[in-house]
Amino acid sequence: MFEIFGIPSAALFGQLLIGLINGSFYALLSLGLAVIFGMLNIINFAHGAQYMLGAFAAYLLLELLGVNYWWALLVAPLIVGLIGVVIERTLLQWLYKLDHLYGLLLTFGLALVIEGLVRNRYGSAGLPYTVPESLTGGTNLGFMFLPNYRAWVIAASLGVCLATWFVIERTKLGAYLRAATENPTLVRAFGINVPLMITLTYGFGAALAAFAGVMAAPIYNVSPQMGSSLIIVVFAVVVIGGMGSIMGAIVTGFGLGIVEGLTKVFFPEASNTVIFVVMAIVLLVRPAGLFGRRT
Amino acid sequence: MSMEQRIEAAAPTASAAHSSRSWSEPLVFVIMVALLVIAPKAIYPMFIMQALCFALFACAFNLLIGYVGLLSFGHALYFGWASYLAAHSAKVWGFPPELAILTGTLTACLLGIISGSLAIRRQGIYFAMITLALAQMMFFFALQLKFTGGEDGIQAVPRGKLFGSIDLSDQTNMYFTTVGIFLFGFLLIYRIIHSPFGEVLKGIRENEARAISLGYKTDRYKLMAFVLSATLAGLAGSTKAIVLQIASLTDVDWPMSGEVVLMALVGGLGTVFGPVAGAFIVVAMQNYLAQVGQWVTVIQGVIFVVCVLAFRRGVIGEIAHHLRIKL
């Protein structure tokens, strides 16, 4: 063990690690928001609620059906993604011709409904979700102790983020998506089923949020309000990064997680607000956001 | 059809020259004042006072969304912080109520200048996210600072004597003071939207690029509207602190921001009387459903969804549309 700036290395790196973990959730969620916004022109306020549903789905799968963490990681996003598809088909599809703001208002209402229903059923107190057997324990790196589960979360979210980036930027499907974002009418004229793409995009975005939720379940308590506070921070992340680029969302998400972690070490009382302060500074210096194009 | 066009559709006479005064608005205003005078005989005055504070809050919020097309998702910031400052100055510094309310209102004005100048740097959906994030930041401040009393809030705020003579602990005095403050704010907003300044705001709402090309410095207009809206929201929050004798975290937290959006939406965005009706509907619903506790959130959420899908003009907007009058 050694010290850096008078802070024991274990504490410093421990907070950095927590920062990276939070950052991976910021990245996953802002990525989902950006993908949905690109396709549907809707800011999905229900994203936090979908993240929370993912965590609850994992909890219930384990409690009721004995489905383990690894299967939950696959099944919970599928369930929430399906719910997302239903939401898009029944509610969101009527809004595309309206002002963007209506999408925000409707999904805000959805978030209230989902959170309220879950709270009625399970109360406000958190429910515990144990770390899967295969990921307990950790590695001593000499300057800090790295729990295996946390390492896995960072690796997995990085992997999912990069895979999403790859699909959107480097494959034919992604090319269709980007084209449909630019000019849906023209893409439809080429015989591509744009409405289906929109539906699946929303489902995929919801599934991403749920995936983050499942990974968060063993770290934080599974509680009805875990999504609502997070989504506001993610909004700030989106404002800082701008929704123009996928890479931007990933970099900003992880970067701000680290900033938050470091703040916890040096000014613990400011750790809740640091991301919002960064947002204010970015708005002063670069109103369009770090990766944004002037709108 | 964009929101702007919808609001236009709700007010078919709006395209007429603004010099043509509508007869319906003053008429409804007189009816509203008459109702407020006789209402305490029939309805619990405390409920009306509470609803009036929220009505002014919703009107202030509506000034932005209905007339400039800016959706603020963080208006709890001004409402809540104003109520903290009003409560604190009345209780700890011993301010009389009129000074306490002024203190709270000026606080909101100052916060409006700071956060407004940040938020108007982005358009549309980003604007909404920025206002929400800034409000959340100030919520954490309220949570951590000592004077707000944290989870307990500031309780037992003295109502004191208005101008040193009118005792506000008397319910009737408090009631008519609240009505007076509400009408002052309401008429001020009415003046603003029917003034040349208000016409420019509507122009920005319709087509900002065009307003810029006509030589209007739209950012200044937007900031001005934002600060006015924040200040009036602060007036509402300060009054609420004196009326209910409490300032608490609920007033600065994000659900409060959502609630005021709901009030304006239910009543009718971009209508003069809509936010008032919406505030009464939502406050009545909350009081009525107080027993079912958690279901209130679910019901509010459902109302949001239904309003956006099928009822975008709101109650007053629909009435105005069918009768073809301005409200």
CA–CA gap between residue B16 and residue B112 (Å, rounded): 33
Verify whether the Cβ–Cβ distance B301 to A102 is below 8 Å: no
Measured between CB atoms, does B291 come within 8 Å of chain A?
no
Q: Do A115 and B258 touch (CB under 8 A)?
A: no
Q: How far apart are CA B39 and CA A197, in angstroms?
A: 55
Residue among A101, A112, A273 minimizing CB distance to B128: A101
- Taking only the tens of pLDDT, chain B with its 327 residues reads 455 444 444 444 444 444 456 788 899 999 999 999 998 888 899 999 999 999 999 999 999 999 999 999 999 999 999 999 999 999 999 899 999 999 999 999 999 999 999 999 988 889 999 999 999 999 999 998 888 888 888 998 888 878 878 887 888 899 999 999 999 999 999 999 999 999 999 999 999 999 999 999 999 999 999 999 999 999 999 999 999 999 999 999 999 999 999 999 999 999 999 999 999 999 999 888 877 777 889 999 999 999 999 999 999 999 999 988 888
Q: Which residue of B has its CA nearest to A280?
A: B118
3-state helix, strand, coil split of chain B in percent (to 5) is: 75, 0, 25
pLDDT, position A47 = 97
Please check whether residue A112 touches B, CB under 8 A: yes
Do residues A196 and A36 lie in contact, with contact meaning Cβ atoms separated by under 8 Å? no
**Cβ of B130 and A105 within 8 Å?**
no
Which residue among B119, B130, B137 sits closest to A273, beta carbon to beta carbon? B137
Number of H helices and E strands in chain A, helices first, is 11, 4
CA-closest candidate to residue A234, choices A46, A79, A38: A46
Residue among A43, A113, A283 whose CB faces B301 most closely: A113
* Residue bearing the bigger pLDDT, A86 or B5: A86
Nearest CA in chain A to B126: A239
Q: Is A122 in a helix, a strand, or coil?
A: helix
Q: Can you tell me the distance from the alpha carbon of B279 to that of A156, in angstroms, rounded to the nearest whole number?
A: 47
Matching residue, tokens 């705001």: B201
Backbone Cα Rg of chain B: 19
Choose from B64, B144, B205, B308 for mutation: most chain A CBs within 10 A. B308
Q: H-helix or E-strand containing A3? A: strand A3-4
Does the CB of B213 have a partner CB in chain A at under 8 Å?
no
Instruction: For residue A120, give the nearest of B136, B140, B294 by CB distance.
Output: B294
Q: What is the pLDDT of residue A2?
A: 64
A119-124 average pLDDT score: 88
Of B6, B133, B303, the CB nearest to A235: B133
**Cβ under 8 Å to A: B residues 303-322:** 303-305, 307-309, 312
Would you state the pLDDT for residue B113?
97
B216 touches chain A (CB under 8 A): no
Q: What's the token pair of residue B20? A: 């043509």
Which residue out of B298, B311, B313 would a mutagenesis test of the A interface target, given it has the greatest number of A Cβ atoms within 10 Å?
B298
Q: Is B290 on the interface with A (CB under 8 A)?
A: no
DSSP per residue, A18-71? HHHHHHHHHHHHHHHHHHHHHHH----TTHHHHHHHHHHHHHHHHHHH---HHH
Q: What is the pLDDT of residue B318?
A: 93
Residues A280, B261: C-beta atoms closer than 8 Å: no
* Residues of chain A with C-beta less than 8 angstroms from the C-beta of B300: 109, 112
* Residue of B124, B126, B297 with shortest CB distance to A112: B297
Cβ-Cβ contacts under 8 Å, A228 against chain B: 254
* Contact with chain B for residue A108, Cβ under 8 A: yes
Residue to mutate among A88, A234, A283, with most B CBs inside 10 A, is A283
Residue A287 phi, psi (nearest 5): -55, -25
- Residue B44 CA to residue B322 CA, distance in Å, equals 32
For chain B, the distance separating the N- and C-terminal CA atoms, rounded to the nearest angstrom, is: 21
Instruction: Report the C-alpha gap between A94 and A106 in whole angstroms.
Output: 11
Residue B155 and residue B245 in contact, taking contact as beta carbons nearer than 8 Å:
yes
Please give the C-alpha separations between residue A233 and each of A12, A26, A240, A256, B206, in angstroms, as whole numbers.
Answer: 23, 8, 11, 10, 31
| Contacts with B253 from chain A: Cβ below 8 Å | none
**What residues of B are in contact with residue A94 (Cβ under 8 Å)?**
309
The 3-state DSSP class for residue B22 equals: coil
Question: How many angstroms separate the CA atoms of B50 and B31, rounded?
Answer: 20
Q: B281, B274 in Cβ contact below 8 A?
A: no
- Nearest CB neighbour to B298, from listed A97, A113, A295: A113
Residues 6+ apart with CB under 8 A from B190: B25, B29, B272
**Nearest Cα to Cα of residue B122 among A294, A6, A184:** A294
The Cα B129–Cα B183 span in angstroms is 31
**Which pLDDT tens digit goes with each residue over A200-257?**
999 999 999 999 999 999 998 899 989 998 999 999 999 998 887 888 889 999 999 9
The residue type found at A96 is: Y
Joined together, the tokens standing for residue B80 give 């809540």
Q: Judge whether A72 and A207 are in contact, CB under 8 Å.
A: no
Task: Give B43's contacts (C-beta < 8 A, 6+ positions apart).
Answer: none
